[in-house]
Amino acid sequence: MEPACRKDKPKLNSTPTRGDRAKQRSAQQEVKQRQRAEIYALNKVMTELEQQQFEAFCKQMQGQGE
């Protein structure tokens, strides 16, 4: 007996080619580099803000000590 509802489906070529894999890898590297640059920029801004807040705190403490 053959199954009546069986459909022959053409196989899709789901394996990426060498060029596609290289493009994907390159795109992932670009994303990582951009994220890393954003993280460094954010870290710089946060460090500067922390320094400003610390200096303001020190001035405030000096004013209270007098």
Q: Which pLDDT belongs to residue 59? A: 95
| pLDDT beyond 70 at 5 | no
| pLDDT beyond 70 at 58 | yes
Task: Supply the pTM of this predicted model.
Answer: 0.61
Element at 66 (helix H, strand E): none
What token pair was written down for 3? 């199954």
pLDDT in tens, 12-35: 556 778 889 999 999 999 999 999
Q: Which pLDDT belongs to residue 9? A: 62
- How far apart CA 57 and CA 55 sit, in angstroms, is 5
